[in-house]
Structure 1
């Protein structure tokens, strides 16, 4: 859906936003959008790093189990 907007559609959206909120509110809206994107990106990075850490922990557990089974005389 967003692939078909193009430059004219984007300009129309910006004009409508300008009419609705006025020029004095646009900087505030821009800052709010920027803060929201920043928080979203940092949360996404945090989740990805947690998943990587969990994956490494499970690999360590698998290695320990292999070592134990290789050493057992059964």
Structure 2
């Protein structure tokens, strides 16, 4: 129920046109925060070396 209330408030504040872009920005921010906590770097994911970094030696 609380999630529905927050969604309706977000829709009223942002409007239907800006809500998807705000959701994408929020998701990207959360993903970046999680990656910084876990020690992953954004350049490693772009280079494809993510799998190489996570393998134990």
Root-mean-square deviation (CA), in Å?
1.5
Give the Cα separation in 2 of the matches to 1:44 and 1:35: 14
Larger radius of gyration: 1
Task: List alignment gaps of at least 5 residues for structure 1.
Answer: 1-7, 48-74
| Runs of 4+ deviating beyond 6 Å | none
Q: How many residues align?
A: 40
Bigger relative CO (Cα 8 Å, ≥ 6 apart): 2
TM-score by length of 1: 0.49
Give the Cα separation in 1 of the matches to 2:5 and 2:20: 19
Are 2:19 and 1:9 aligned? no
**Equivalent residue, structure 2, for 1:40:** 33
TM-score by length of 2: 0.62
More helix by share: 1
**Equivalent residue, structure 2, for 1:31:** 24
